[in-house]
């Protein structure tokens, strides 16, 4: 696993991976880490004893989600790497062209599925932000808001990476299925974001 500076250097390079989908998982992991921080600090403050049980549950959920974002990062990079590999296959004959098309379509389906999974994690993070805001620790609401912004960005960026692959996929059934899943995640995320912002502004 690259350290942060090495990752940023590679992200800034001319290499096809990591790209936007991978970066979205980093942003999501940052948001999950902030949620865990808010919960841990609240857990350590006796003034908030009434929400300690929820804070403890939130620590576990946020730490687990951060780890899942890490896995999603690796999965996204591997999935997208298969696309230029397929594009580089020869197509001098009809058989080669058919094989290239098949491999490319399989790669594109995987490259759409990976950020779709990341979008699911981002929607989960938005729900955790709502729970973090509900702890009502006034000294940490800016951290909750930062986590919320990161979660929103991770969801939107992941969604963009799903949609871009749909432009080139020929399996209409799979595209429609992924679109339905993505729209449901975006709707759920928007509901959580609206609820979280209401809690933040009510402090």
Q: Give the CATH class of 4-201.
A: mainly alpha
The C-alpha angle with vertex 97 and arms to 95 and 99, in degrees rounded to 5, equals 70
Radius of gyration of the chain (CA): 20
**Dihedral sign computed on CA atoms, order 183, 69, 40, 56:** positive
Query: Is residue 184 within 8 Å of 124, Cβ to Cβ?
Result: no
Are 91 and 97 contacting, i.e. CB atoms less than 8 angstroms apart? yes
- Specify the pLDDT at position 170: 97
Q: Which tens digit of pLDDT belongs to each residue from 80-106?
A: 999 999 999 999 999 999 999 999 999
The whole-chain average pLDDT of the chain stands at: 96
Q: Is the pLDDT of residue 39 over 90?
A: yes
Distances (CA, A) of 147 to 27, 29, 92, 178: 9, 9, 50, 26
pLDDT category of residue 203 using cuts at 50, 70 and 90: low
Query: How confident is the model over 173-193, as pLDDT tens digits?
Result: 999 999 999 999 999 999 999
Structure tokens at 144: 């909750």
Contact 49, 81 (CB under 8 A): no
- Residue ranges of domains in the chain: 4-201
Say yes or no to pLDDT of 2 above 80.
no
Predicted confidence at residue 1, as pLDDT, reads 56
Region of residue 136 (left: phi > 0; alpha: psi -120 to 50; beta: else):
left
Q: Distance (Å, rounded) from C-alpha 155 to C-alpha 190?
A: 10
Q: What is this structure's pTM?
A: 0.95
């Amino acid at each position: 696993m690259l350290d942060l500076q090495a990752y940023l250097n590679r992200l800034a390079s001319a290499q096809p991976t990591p790209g936007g989908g991978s970066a979205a998982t980093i942003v999501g992991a940052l948001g999950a880490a902030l949620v865990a921080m808010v919960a841990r600090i609240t857990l350590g403050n006796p003034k908030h004893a009434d929400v300690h049980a929820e804070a403890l549950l939130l620590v576990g959920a946020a730490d687990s989600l951060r780890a899942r974002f890490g896995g999603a990062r690796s999965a996204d990079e591997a999935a997208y790497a298969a696309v230029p590999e397929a594009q580089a296959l020869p197509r001098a004959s009809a058989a080669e062209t058919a094989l290239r098309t098949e491999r490319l379509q399989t790669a594109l389906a995987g490259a759409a599925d990976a950020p779709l999974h990341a979008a699911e994690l981002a929607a989960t993070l938005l729900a955790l932000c709502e729970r973090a805001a509900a702890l009502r620790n006034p000294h940490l609401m800016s951290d909750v808001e930062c986590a919320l912004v990161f979660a929103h960005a991770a969801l939107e960026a992941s969604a963009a990476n799903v949609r871009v692959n749909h432009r080139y996929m020929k399996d209409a059934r799979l595209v429609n299925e992924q679109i339905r899943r993505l729209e449901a995640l975006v709707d759920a995320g928007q509901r959580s974001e609206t609820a979280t912002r209401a809690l933040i502004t009510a402090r």
